[in-house]
């Protein structure tokens, strides 16, 4: 919520001061003294520090908020089927991605 003498201009900035402009994914509005930045579809790159900067003839003020985007767990690469001789060593690998840091568990025949 923004208060002050009109006219008030609103500018949205991200991280180190890059100006945010409206796009298909970003909507900016200022109505009834409420400045809004709406992200239609957040992705990893959407995360960071967001700054709402307001100005009028009397001065400038800022407030900031932080967005952390969590990504669902995904299997990026699976191990190929293997054949091992009894008594020999073998390695299974599964490349995963997502955030926050993932916990990986291995199961055989439904048991961990």
Q: Per-residue pLDDT for the chain (112 aa), expressed as one digit of tens each?
A: 666 677 888 999 999 889 999 999 999 999 888 999 999 999 989 999 999 999 988 899 999 999 999 988 888 888 888 888 999 998 888 888 888 888 888 898 989 8
In a domain, 107, yes or no: no
Rounded Cα distance between 65 and 40, Å, is 17
In a domain, 40, yes or no: yes
Question: How many domains does the chain contain in total?
Answer: 1
In a domain, 2, yes or no: no
Nearest CA-CA partner of 8 in 60, 43, 65, 86? 60
For residues 39, 34, 32 and 30, what is the CA-based torsion angle, rounded to 10 degrees?
-50
CATH code of residue 30? 2.60.40.10
Rounded Cα distance between 112 and 108, Å, is 6
According to DSSP, the β-strands at 34-39 and 95-99 are unpaired
In a domain, 38, yes or no: yes
Q: Which domain holds residue 44?
A: 9-67
Nearest CA-CA partner of 50 in 102, 58, 79, 42? 42
In a domain, 110, yes or no: no
């Amino acid at each position: 919520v923004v208060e002050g003498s009109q006219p008030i201009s609103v500018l949205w900035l991200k991280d180190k001061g890059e100006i945010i402009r409206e796009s298909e994914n970003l909507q900016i509005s200022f109505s009834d003294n409420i400045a809004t930045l709406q992200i239609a579809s957040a992705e990893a790159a959407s995360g960071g520090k967001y700054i709402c900067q307001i100005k009028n003839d009397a001065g400038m003020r800022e407030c900031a908020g932080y967005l952390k985007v969590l990504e669902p767990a995904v299997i990026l690469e699976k191990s190929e089927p293997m054949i091992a001789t009894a008594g020999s060593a073998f390695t299974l690998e599964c490349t995963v991605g997502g955030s926050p840091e993932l916990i990986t568990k291995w199961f055989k025949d439904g048991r961990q």
